[in-house]
Every structure is written in C-alpha cells, then in structure tokens.
Amino acid sequence: MTRSKFLPVDRNDMIERGWDSVDFVYVIGDAYVDHPSFGHAIISRVLESHGYRVGIISQPDWKDKKSIQVFGEPRLGFLVSAGNMDSMVNHYSVSKKRRKTDAYTPGGEMGKRPDYACVVYGNLIRQTYKKTPIILGGIEASLRRLAHYDYWSDRLKRSVLLDSGADIISYGMGERSIVEIADALDAGIPVNELTYIDGTVVKIKDRDRIYDAEFLPSYEDLKADKKTYADSFYTQYLNTDAFNGKRLAEPYSDHLFVVQNPPSKPLSVSEMDDVYSLPYTRTYHPSYEAKGGIPAISEIRFSLISNRGCFGGCSFCALTFHQGRIVQVRSHESLLKEAEIITKEKDFKGYIHDVGGPTANFRHPSCKKQTEHGVCRNRQCLFPKPCGNLDADHSDYVSLLKKLRELPGIKKVFIRSGIRFDYLLADRKRDFLKELCQYHVSGQLKVAPEHVARPVLSLMGKPEHSVYEKFTEEFYKMNAKIGKKQYLVPYLMSSHPGSTLKEAVELAEYCRDLGYMPEQVQDFYPTPSTLSTCMYYTGLDPRTGQKVYVPKNPHEKAMQRALIQYRNPELYDLVLEALKRAGRMDLVGFGPKCLIRPRRSNEKQFSGTRTDKAPRPRKKKKTIRNIHKKK
C-alpha cells in the first residue's frame, strides 16, 4: 500500500498531488483509517468524489496551535470530528475511571485526543482562523447538537455548536448534508447564510429569520426544571424522522437561537452502494505501522456493513437520534464485490467476521409506507409488541448469506452484530433461524435480552421476557433438529433506570435458574441523547411524564451488579447486603433456590477483596457449554 493512495496528511503529500492548497482540512480525534467503517473516511471520500480537495489532520496536539496549521487556511473550511466514539465514552468507563487504552490510536495509546474533543478542536482552530467556516460532524457533535445532559460533568450543557465556536453541525450520517454545505460554500454563499440545509444545526441571531419551526423551551428554562427538559427532549425524539420531522429552535437569548433543521433523507440502495464503492485503501495510514497499527481495525477489517438505521427502538441506544429508524441497505452485488476484495487481502483466513449493522437481521424498512411517509411518530415497530403492519421477512438476508458462503475463498460467514430475536420470531417462516444455526454461529450466539423484570424491560423499550424465553426454546430445538450443540450467551445490563434492588434480585434469580454467571456485566451508561439518559437525569419517563426510580449511588450500583455475579466469592458481602435491603433473606441458605450460603461463624468478613489468606473451596465453574443441559 503506497502513501499516495491516502488523502494528504501533510504539506508534502499535498505537493506530491500537485495541489497548492486544500478545500477542506479534516481534523479528527481518531487515527486516520481509510476504511468505510470510519466516518472520517466516508465523508472525506464523498467530498473527493465531488471534486473537493481534502487534507487530513489526525489527533493534533490540542495544546499547540501550529498542529492545525499543517495545510494553512483551507479554501472552504475546517471539518471537525471527535472520531468514531464520543471522546468521553472513549476515555472513561461508566464509573468515570480513565481507560488504559484507546483502540482508535496507534498502538492503543491513551491520551492522544482531548476530553470534549469537538469543543477543544473547534476553539483551537478559531484561535488562529477567526473567520474560516468550521463544520462539526461525527457521533459526538451529532448527539450533542442541542442542549443535553452530560454525565461526566453531571450537568446540562449547551449545544456543542456554541461551546466549540463552530458555524454549523452536519448531524447524522452526513453524506447528503456535507456535499450541500461544500457546494454552497464553493458557490460563495457565506456560512452564516446556510440556515436551510436538511441534516444540519445552525446558529441564528434574528428570530424573524427562523421559519416553519417549533420552538423548544429556552436553555435557561431547561436548566431550571427537569420536567421541562424531559418534555423538550421528547419533542426532539418525535422529530428524528426525515419525512415528518419538524424544524426545531432552541433559544439561548433574545438574540441567539440554535436551530435544528429536519434530518437528511435516507440513502437509496444505489446511493449506499456508491458510498461503499469509493476508493478506500481499507486500512490505516502507513505512518502508524511503527507503533503497531490501529487496534480497532481488527474488529472490522473482514466484516461487511450491510445496513444502517434501526427500528428496534431501545431506550438506551442513540441510533434513533443519529442514524434514524428507517433501515437503509446495500445491494447484494455491492456486498459480494466487497467480500471478493476482502478474500484477496493477504491476512484473510477465509472467515467473514460479520454481515450486519446496528441490527444484523434488518434488511429493509419495517413497513412499506416508511420510504414515502416516514416512521410513526407515536408508535414503535416492535415495542411493546410487533406492529400489525410490520414486514417481518428475512428472505433477502438469507439469500445474501447464501451467496456470500458460496464465494471462492470463504470458509465461514459469521453474524456478530446484534440479532433482534423478537423480529426473528415475528417472521412466521423459520428459514433464517435454520440458516443462522446451521452456518453462521460458531458454538455461541450472543443476544441481548438485557433484563428479565417487566418494569425495567418496559423502560428499556425491550419485549417481555417471555419473548426471549420463546426464542431460546426455538433456538435449542433448531440446533437439536440439525444435530448441533450451540449455546446462547445473554447480554445483561444492571442499574438501568427503573431497576430497584427488587428487579436486580429477579435478574440474579434468572441467572441462577439458567446456571450461568456472566464474567462481565454492563452497568447502564448515560451517554448523550438517549431516552434512558433523559430518565437518568430527570427521574422521569419523557414518554409518559411518570416518575422513574434511578439507581445513582455507586454502592447501590455495585450491589446490583454483584447480584448478577453472585457466585463470585469476592462479591459475597455486597450480595448479602443487597439481599438484606431487598428483604430477600430467603435466598441465603442451603436450598437449591438460594443464591449464597450463610457465612460460618468463624469466617472472616471481607469487603470487595479477600482479607484472609486461607483459600476457600470453590465449586467448579460452569461453562457456557453446560448451562443449558436441562434444556
């Protein structure tokens, strides 16, 4: 792979191309990876395909203004993205502890981007280039485009557009809006006049210039009252559809308004194909080789992105705000062509790691009306039960998977993106379940019931636990029918809004009955712009206005997590305390339904870690291959 195939990363690269300047400088918090799984690669290649010159500045030193002056002043503007992840999620665990590695940085090194990267990069640029247009994009800007709760500072923050000093946000996936912005700037239209482009957020100083908009409460009102914020957030949630979403205006003063234009229209199949057929080098920049490359590429290098968008509607997921609920797909031909390219890569061993997207088994909009009229504003496609108009059909996905399996050089095609099991069950045919079990699982299939308690599942936007139980029954029946022994590994979440110790105990009892203790449990993480995060901040369900219990105390959250891992002897004290507080001491004893045994009178107490030196006898750990023997 030669350096010239990448977009310029310094002035020498620019000169080698015969350029005297660039139209756009793209400043990113990630390393430069020219692969369509990285947002900066897609946007830069889309702009290139429309004739624009783009230079890349990856992970600049935010303490040095010279680091963003590599190309000089761009002709049209700066593009700024924190990277494939929100910089705060990238840096901190849910317990707000600093992570040790960054998969999007050479060698996995942590600390190569700042906290709140969009804000820091935007201000760094503005210090030198006072009037050059700055366009924010990517997941961080997209999900912080209006006033939002910030978990890490535990306060309501203004739109990132204001704090960053930027001029405009291209939110969502951005292929349409970024070209419109570029063409308008190229035509000589001042950036402050670009107030009309779908898929953008802009600043407007004169209220009279805001037309056809629904006004949200002011930022001061949002800070003053959490109920007001919950109502405002739900208004935003109802206006995330490209066909029926309204223009929204959020006042910050009498002379400053942040205006969110309606989302960009979904891409057609041919437009999706065009995006993924651009001349990506499909790897990281060679300058990173000395540090061991970019760890994140191992997850996606031999995977295929077949769709985007999700009508699953999970409350803790930001996809509704970022990609929307209308599923967009690539053609079979596009995916087969990319698969053939993958088979020719030198390290390919014959295994496609994944064929999917946000949800693997969504290959078309949930009903036929969506591509003309959009999604329903006040109804979900799968929750609380599948809509009567739902088009639950896996035939296209099954056909695609068969074609991929038949390609020369491919030994096996895995599905590792999430399988929406309630959608699978809604398809009366079981062709996909058979294909899945027979060809696309390697011993274990990870699925996400998340919880078992009805109140928590309802707030999560997930189906009742009986639906998951039905899926497990059919999964094991199908494996028995085809003569395979394969197992389900459930993802579980602790401390979601609505989960008291009572519901946490219920989840622990489910793990007991299953005979399974997960090695890792995900605490709910309040990331920007999700329904669940709104619940976490306000203590209200924005859909109904009803109060919601929110576990925030770190000790209680530790107890909820410990209950799911009750077999771990180091968590005994936490489990015992949780059972006492929940009034469930019936689960302490020697019976088959008990979670823990009473502590012997001569046994030393410990908290969190072992304090005694004598080893305790431990039962043989159950493996995932043994947990369903009763079935």
Question: Known binder of ligand: residue 310?
Answer: yes
DSSP string, 73-130: S-SSEEEEE--SS-HHHHHB-TT-PBPS--TTSGGG-S-SS-TTHHHHHHHHHHHH-S
Across 168-207, b (16+ Cβ under 10 Å) vs e yields bbbbbbbbbbbbbbbebbeeeeebeebbebbbbbbbbeee
Contact between 211 and 248 under an 8 Å Cβ cutoff? The reply is no
Question: Known binder of ligand: residue 376?
Answer: no
Helix (H) or strand (E) run with residue 469 in it: helix 465-482
Question: Known binder of ligand: residue 118?
Answer: no
Compute CA distances 44 → 38, 228, 294, 418, 601, whole Å: 10, 39, 19, 28, 67
CA dist 48 and 63 (Å) reads 30
CA dist 353 and 339 (Å) reads 11
Nearest to 113 by CA among 59, 32, 33: 59
- 3-state DSSP call for residue 278? coil
How far, rounded to the nearest angstrom, does the alpha carbon of residue 220 sit from its chain's CA centroid?
29
CA dist 14 and 20 (Å) reads 7
CA dist 15 and 462 (Å) reads 54
The residue type found at 128 is T
**Distant-in-sequence contacts of 222-231, Cβ < 8 A, 24+ apart:** 222/147, 222/156, 223/156, 226/537, 226/538, 226/539, 226/540, 227/538, 227/540, 227/545, 229/147, 229/149, 229/156, 229/534, 229/537, 229/538, 230/534, 230/538, 230/540, 230/541, 230/542, 230/545, 231/542, 231/545
Contact between 23 and 53 under an 8 Å Cβ cutoff? The reply is yes
Q: What number of CA atoms fall less than 13 Å from residue 418's CA on the CB side?
A: 18
Annotated binding site for [4Fe-4S] cluster: 310, 314, 317
Binding-site positions read 310, 314, 317
